[in-house]
Amino acid sequence: MPDEVQGVSRNQGSSRKGALVKFKILVQRTLAYCLDVWIITLLEVLVLSVVRAVVPGFKFHSIAPISLSSGAEYILAMWFKVGVLETMCLALLYVMFTVSILGGTLGMRVFDLKIVKFGSGSATGARQIALRHILSYLSLLLFCLGYLWAIVDSRGRTWHDIVSGTLVTDGK
């Protein structure tokens, strides 16, 4: 009888530990995503500033005024001024470059996370990285359900992780 009780408590303990690890990675992924959004915004400002300096008469799209009162307003204004498609393309280039070189985006590397192939744990290829990134927009647009799926998935995988065959894991 004591062995059974120990076995149950041991299983509950490992289950709790697994849930805490999954929650920790989910929080780290969210913070890494926020950091990556800021990095992409800074890259966008840099690229557009260079284009504006090199191409005479270049004007930004003028739909929304830039407000520096909050970071969210600034990012939304940049999206409208530059264009969502341009932002998505720049983000795709950023993600493909950083993941292929570092194993994760700069935000992910700050939190010691990396993207690997699900099952083998080996490095992801360019097609897998691109597919995962493009599908992440769908996960986001559907009321973040694709991201929230990580809460119920036993491995903490989002929809775009599942479809692209990837896993975000500790970089250790």
Tell me the per-residue pLDDT of 83-136, one tens digit each, with 9 for 90 and over: 777 788 899 999 999 999 999 999 999 999 999 999 999 999 999 999 999 999
pTM for this entry: 0.76
Residue 143 has pLDDT above 50, yes or no: yes
CB of 168 within 8 A of CB of 136?
no
Mean confidence (pLDDT) of the chain: 82
CB of 29 within 8 A of CB of 168?
yes
Rounded distance, CA 83 to CA 64, Å? 11
Q: What is the pLDDT of residue 40?
A: 94
Query: Cα-Cα-Cα-Cα dihedral of 36, 41, 42, 44, to 10°?
Result: 130
Residue 123 φ then ψ, to 5°? -65, 150
CA distances (Å), 42 to each of 49, 58, 67, 89, 167, in order? 10, 19, 15, 15, 27
First vs last Cα of the chain: how many Å apart?
A: 39
